[in-house]
A and B are shown apart, each in its own frame.
Chain A
Amino acid sequence: MTKKLMCTQRLYSKLIISFIVCIIASCSNKGKDYKDIFGQKYIEAERYINSNKWIQDSLARYEIDPSLGISIVFPELIRYSAIKDKIETRSLEVLYTQYGTKYADFSIGKFQMKPSFAYQLEKDWDSFYERDPIKCQIKPFNLNDNPETRRDRIIRLKDEKWQIRYLVMFLKVVEKKYKVNHCDPEMEISFIASAYNSGYSNDSIIIVKMEKQDFFHTGILKPKKCYNYPEISVYYYKKKCRK
């Protein structure tokens, strides 16, 4: 009897230890300090946002919560800070203008948007927003695929004001396309950040699945250790809200 009791106690203590280990593991995973991990690159990204108040004003003018909008692209700002000295996109811009995405589809600007992403957004914007009042602020696009329209797209993508407009269009299109949970801002940001990072044209099941994957890094080539893009967005949002 005593032996049986001891055995049960041992089993319970094993379970409790396992449970505690699980909690610690889960907490340490959730509670990554990204400011500490990315250091100077994080600070530079934060500095850019703080010294460009017009970004928040612009988002608010388009009826977008600035904290939400900035959180979605914040990991890209960290990446941009890390690789900005290695960026040389002129050749790719010419190749895209000349031949289109079959030759070059690459990330441009602080929010690291690709021409294919911009083109998809322009298409969706033109079709989704026929009666939206915001529509009059961002006029329909010429969707013909030729060197002239591609050149204009590159010029837009390199313009910071247009980068914000593309972000606005993305948020509006995602809101229209998916039933985003507005009750929990962190869940909302996590889902939208995953859509931004993995491709918003994907099915919502895939976007949710990608939410858990660690693809984010700040190098030119993919390293062994990657981070979770939506988690960084949520981290920035939570830090911003606490202030």
Chain B
Amino acid sequence: MSEPVASVRNLSKRFGTKEALIDVTAEVEQGDVIGVLGKNGAGKTTLLEILLGFSPPSAGSTMIFGENSLQLSEAAKARIGFVPQQDELLGMLSGKQQVAIGAVFHKRWDHALIDRLLVDWEVPTDRRIHTLSVGERQKLSVLLALGHHAGLLVLDEPVASLDPIARRRFLQELFDVGENPTRAVLFSSHIVSDLERAANKVWIIKDGRLYWQGYVDTLKESVVRLHVRARAPLPSVVPVPHRLACRVEGNRATVAVAEWSAAKRDALAKELEADVEVEPLGLEEIFIELHK
């Protein structure tokens, strides 16, 4: 098994008295496209920036390409592409100048790719960046992370300000990257439908803890909604293991459960003396159920 592209071991981060991250352990492997999900303030940006070495952890460690994130070599840094949550472009430069500045730090800069994407994504290159719209700035910011074919692409809410067409183009680029088995992508987004389309794995952060990590399909199989119809009235809380949420009306109940498997259905039906119907959930619904 090859060495992970990035790893986080028992990572904790404290800001004063606030625990932003608590004992997070995870790995990014080659070929992974990982979507990071969490509510506002859950710790997504903190996790991504600590992983990249912008911020020292309070406890634990982070590695990228086998090196400590706080002391990355030139070779390791050259293989990282990063799009911060708030773009870090220089307002006084033109788009063209900003691209030139980005290119000078990378020996493998793909000028042809960036020139093509600048046209395809309709990014104005002659105007000063401070005159561009938020969406145009974000497109430029994403392009700058793609130019050197990074082995690890870290994107912190890259599509928040993009229009649907730009978002679709961005996702297409992400699919292209995802098809390359030697590269890995880690991206956070609140647009769960995009994440569901692009990611093969998901990390869910809740209250600073890595609440769930694994394949998207596994998560979707694991978290379901049960529609229970019993012959007698049900108790106010239906006794189902790993219950996330429950709504009871007489002899009917709707229960969201985690760690579900098809084998549990018959046992539950027998225990409750009820018909149990299983409804698969989309990622967005799962996210909402997990946060109820």
Asked whether A and B interact, the reply is no
Report B's interface with A, CB cutoff 8 A.
none
Report A's interface with B, CB cutoff 8 A.
none
